[in-house]
Amino acid sequence: MDISIIVPLFNEAESLPHLYEWIARVMKENKFSYEVIFVNDGSTDNSWEVIKQLQSDEVPSGKKSQGEGVVHGICFRRNYGKSAALQVGFQAAKGDVVITMDADLQDSPDEIPALYRMITEEGYDLVSGWKQKRYDNKLTKNLPSKLFNATARRVTGIHLHDMNCGLKAYRQEVVKNIEVFSEMHRYIPYLAKNAGFTKIGEKVVQHRKREFGVSKFGLNRFVNGYLDLMTLWFLNRFGKQPMHFFGLVGSLMFFIGLIAVIVVGGMKLHALSNGVPAMLVGVNPYFHIAILMMILGCMLFLAGFLAELVIRNSPSRNDYLIRDEI
């Protein structure tokens, strides 16, 4: 099968028939064999009934010729989020190239052939869309998105203008070797890079105005996005060796506190030996700050030690991605 198209959705019943008709037309014109995987993320409208209708109207099961496709539907019992929907879709995908796109008709299926060629002919592992001209609200979406992407480029080292674009293309090997969890769908290129897939490209794609429904994402996604970015950076840097972070920081804090205690005590002894009145050590604020640093240093060191014990007993401690074997 040439292409698997994964469409995560939440309350998009009105858009689905138009989207599938558009996808089917593009696939037929380019003679692709394909499957469309609709992942219903706990919709409360009749999205699932629409998907079942699309599935019943598809080409009958069996060997598919060029330009023919299959509809798959996956329905969650409740809303788990876009990351969960994508992960389940990745597990189910069988195509050589995997395309992800949103169900709100803001992503154009006409972009799929060019994305497919960038993967199959130009050798990219992942190609992310870049909605260079957007029709969103500039104050609430465009400006925060630019700041968010600038920070992501700085932290991840991946120079994409729109890392969170829903329209992406992947080599099948990529989606089978990454795990999308929590709200990490924003950073799939970073997850791919951490897994060793470094040929990541970008393509300018068309952004269309929403025709039906309303956006499912609020301003809180930018706050959560920064927190998730820091989590991924830490896991990539210290996930296998947490002691290198907690142990180093804890040791530095402990020894700085220890030196401060020695200095406070030395100043007190020096004053007493010279008959100069001096503040009691117990009421000196620097003494309490130094003791607090020593305690925090010990706690961080122990946190790193416990994290190392957890890692050593993890069943995935020796999971490594093998590219080839002869």
pLDDT digits (tens, 9 = 90+) for 3-27: 999 999 999 999 999 999 999 999 9
Q: Which of 73-77, 119-123, 247-251, 309-313 has the lowest mean pLDDT?
A: 309-313
- Residue 214 confidence (pLDDT): 66
- Residue 143 confidence (pLDDT): 73
Q: Which of 31-45, 112-126, 229-243 has the lowest mean pLDDT?
A: 229-243
- Residue 219 confidence (pLDDT): 58
Decide which of 270 and 31 is more confident: 31
- Residue 305 confidence (pLDDT): 87
Proportion of the chain above pLDDT 70, given as a percent: 88
Q: What is the mean pLDDT of residues 99-103?
A: 95
- Residue 35 confidence (pLDDT): 95
CATH topology of domain 3-238: Spore Coat Polysaccharide Biosynthesis Protein SpsA; Chain A (3.90.550)
Q: How far apart are CA 114 and CA 156, in angstroms?
A: 26
- φ/ψ of residue 206, rounded to 5: -80, 135
pLDDT at 106 over 80: yes
Q: Which of 213, 227, 225, 184 is nearest to 86 (CA)?
A: 184
Q: What is the mean pLDDT of residues 80-100?
A: 95
Angstrom CA distances, 291 to 31, 246, 269, 281, 300, stand at 72, 18, 18, 12, 14
Proportion of the chain above pLDDT 90, given as a percent: 53
pLDDT at 148 over 90: no
For residues 12, 16, 17, 22, the Cα torsion angle rounded to the nearest 10 degrees is: 140
Structure tokens at 234: 């830490």
Q: Classify strands 126-130 and 168-171 as parallel, antiparallel or unpaired.
A: antiparallel
pTM of this prediction?
A: 0.76
Decide which of 4 and 56 is more confident: 4
pLDDT at 126 over 80: yes
Q: What is the mean pLDDT of residues 233-247?
A: 84
Contact indicator for 178, 195 with CB cutoff of 8 Å: yes
Q: b/e string for 162-191 if b means 16 or more Cβ within 10 A?
A: bbbbbbbbbbbebbebbebeebbbbbbbbb
Collapsing DSSP states into helix, strand and coil, what is residue 35?
Answer: strand
Decide which of 118 and 223 is more confident: 118
Q: How far apart are CA 249 and CA 292, in angstroms?
A: 14
Angstrom CA distances, 281 to 253, 277, 295, 296, stand at 20, 12, 18, 20
- Residue 112 confidence (pLDDT): 96
- Residue 65 confidence (pLDDT): 53
Find all residues with CB under 8 Å of 134, minimum gap 6, and list them: 141, 142, 207
**153-194 residue pLDDT tens:** 888 999 998 888 999 999 999 999 999 988 889 899 999 998
pLDDT at 218 over 60: no
Q: How far apart are CA 189 and CA 195, in angstroms?
A: 10
Q: How far apart are CA 300 and CA 257, in angstroms?
A: 14
pLDDT at 206 over 60: yes
